[in-house]
Each structure stands twice: as structure tokens, then as C-alpha cells.
Amino acid sequence: MFDGLLGQDFIKMTLAEAAGSGRAGHAYVFCGPDGIGRRSFAKEFARAVMCTGAEGGAVPCGNCPSCRLLASGTNPDLKLIRGDESRATVGVETVRQLEEDIATAPTVSARKVYIIERSEKLTVQAQNALLKTIEEPPSYVMLILICSNPSLLIDTVRSRVTRLDFARYSNEEVLKAYRDAAEEGAPELSAEDGELVTSYADGIIGRGLQFRDFGFYGALRERIFDTLLLLKEGRSAFFAGFTELFTSKDNAADREYMFFELTSAVRDAMVYARTNDAGTLQNRQFRDKIEELAEIAGRHGWEKALDAVSGAYQLTGQNVNYRMIIVNLAAQIIDAVQGDSGRLK
Ligand SMILES: [Zn+2]
């Protein structure tokens, strides 16, 4: 069980024990950040409790109808509930549908498992509706709530589910996962690129894996530096270039990454303005550009700009219009640099 899934030893132990003893609970909440592996673990746990093979439980047999249908992705007894991605909340109607479905016994498997994605998006009303199922579930039912922010679950739900918290991975584990996922014959990861993968991943394997295409990311990184250098051409050039880069459809898809790179670039400008030392730069390959940035404004200007970037980044996680955030940020960076150098056109 859990072959091919790295780390999370405590969770593996807890779930294997529950599945093996045949006394797995009816409702779990898997907590942790996106990309940490909650879905993969939920599916593997489901496979174990759904198996009807002789061994049952701890080690799914791989041969029974339930295991086979899961392998082909067509087992009707495993339901993934995603809600509508484009909507901020998941409403009570989704839970009502789930309740209707729960009333019928499993078709081929020992249990029926419902994996509810982004459960923090369930409205209070939806959670109250779900509560009934959590309190008095048919014996064959198991619910697994995937959750990034358990504080958004109501107390009565939280107190009736078994909560498992996923731990962040070490840098070594992130790199191992990255190497394991690399295609046959892919070039070795350089130490510099490895550092980039681990600092972006921040202990989350799924984020580290986003760095598949170094050519693409390298080009984007350079564009961010070039965009900051537009400050030399004056306010309007920078404003236009910056908003274009951060709101264009191609790049806006990966906001996390864009902000990560922007933070790193502005940080380097600040460090270089302060120390004149390239040794501690994160983007040593762009040393020339960083030198140029440090000529536009001093450490105080870049420090202010860095504050503005981190403030804007925090807003992206809230319900604020993204374009507005970017427009404001562009203006704040101009102010920060202007206040320091007084030289912007
Ligand atoms: Zn089986």
C-alpha cells in the first residue's frame, strides 16, 4: 500500500492500520496545501478499503473487480466531487446529489468512497447538509474531504471527522520526486536548477514538479528582469510592460510562479544595492541586469518595492480583482523607485 508515494510516514501508518483492521472510519479530512499529495493518498486509501480480494484491507489485491475497475478509472463506487471550478463556493445542491447517490449500495466494491475536493469551499448550508451523512452514514460509505483551510469547516463537521495533516517534504524528497518524474534521457538537474526547484516548491512536491520546462521558465525569468529594467525608460513604459506581462493570458495562469520570480528579482536588486556583492544573489546568471537595477534605485527603494510585492501577493489569495492588484503594484513600484532616486521620467 502507498507504493510510489513519498514520505508522510505517520499518515501511511494510520491509514494502513485503519484499512488493515477493517475498522476504517466513515469520514476523514485530509489537510494540507495544494500539491502536497492529499488526492493521491486518498485514492490509495480508497483502493484498500474498496478491495474485495481475499487479503482485503491493508494491501489491495489488484485483481478483484473493484481493483481492476479502479485501475482503468471506471469504478462506479469511487466518486470525485469537484464542484464547479469557476465558482467560489460549493453549494447545498451538490451535497443533495451526493446524498441521493449515497442511498444506493456499492456496485462492485466493498465500500463506496466519496472524495470531496476543495471542501473548504462548501457553504455553511452545504456543510450542515453533509453533517447528516457524516453522523449516520450507511455502513458502506466513506467520505474523504480534501481541505486546504480547515478553519472554514464548521465545528460540528470538524469534530466528527478524523483529521490528518500532511507534512511538508524535505528538499531531498522534493528533488527525489522531481528526478523520479523526469522523462527517460532527460538532462541531469544542475545544482543551480535544483536550488530553484526546492525554493519554489517550499516543501510541496506538486509545486516542485511544475518546473518541468526549464527553457520556458528561464525565458520568463529573464522577461521579468527586462520588465523591471523598463523603469529606466520611464513610468509609462514600465507601467505598460509590467501590467502586460502579469495579466497576459499566457502568464497569468501561473500567478504563484510569477510572484515567486518577481520577489526573487526585486530581492536581488535590493541585496545588490546594499552590498555590491554578487555572491548572495539568487539569480546570479542575470548579474548584469541586477547591477543595472541597483543603479536605478538604492536599497531603500528596492526594499519598499519588495514590501509592495509581498503585499500584492497576499492579496492574490483573497477575493480581490487580479488586474487591480497588478495595476496598483505597478504604481507602488514606480513610487518606491521614484521616491528613492527621484530620477524617473
Ligand atoms: Zn482488490
Instruction: Return the CATH fold of 213-341.
Output: Zinc Finger, Delta Prime; domain 3 (1.20.272)
| Ligand 1: centre distance to CA 247 (Å) | 48
Q: Give tens-digit pLDDT for 32-86.
A: 998 899 999 999 999 999 999 866 567 889 899 999 999 999 999 999 988 776 7
pTM for this structure? 0.75
- Euclidean distance between CA atoms 108 and 50, whole angstroms: 9
- Euclidean distance between CA atoms 277 and 260, whole angstroms: 22
| Ligand 1: centre distance to CA 3 (Å) | 15
Q: What is the DSSP string of 110-123?
A: SSEEEEETTGGGB-
Q: Which of 58-62, 101-105, 281-285 has the highest mean pLDDT?
A: 101-105
Residue 140 pLDDT level (bands cut at 50, 70, 90):
very high
What counts of helices (H) and strands (E) characterise the chain? 16, 5
| Ligand 1: centre distance to CA 117 (Å) | 24
* Alpha helix positions (H), 143-202: 155-158, 171-181, 191-201
Tell me the chain's radius of gyration from C-alpha atoms. 25
Class level of CATH domain 9-165: alpha beta
Residue 275 is predicted with a pLDDT of 92
Residue 282 near residue 268, CB atoms below 8 Å? yes
Residue 57 is predicted with a pLDDT of 60
Residue 282 pLDDT level (bands cut at 50, 70, 90):
confident
| Ligand 1: centre distance to CA 206 (Å) | 28
Q: What angle do CA 237, 238, 244 make, to 5 degrees?
A: 95
- Euclidean distance between CA atoms 246 and 328, whole angstroms: 12
Residue 341 is predicted with a pLDDT of 65
Q: Residue ranges per domain, the chain?
A: 9-165, 213-341
CA distances 324 to 193, 225, 265, 327, 328, Å, are 33, 22, 22, 5, 6
Q: Give tens-digit pLDDT for 163-190.
A: 999 999 999 999 998 888 887 777 788 8
| Ligand 1: centre distance to CA 189 (Å) | 38
Residue 147 is predicted with a pLDDT of 94
| pLDDT top residue among 83 and 141 | 141
Q: What average pLDDT is seen over the chain?
A: 89
Strand partners, 81: 116
| Ligand 1: centre distance to CA 176 (Å) | 29
CA distances 36 to 176, 189, 312, Å, are 14, 22, 24
| Ligand 1: centre distance to CA 5 (Å) | 19
Residue 168 near residue 139, CB atoms below 8 Å? no
| Ligand 1: centre distance to CA 69 (Å) | 10
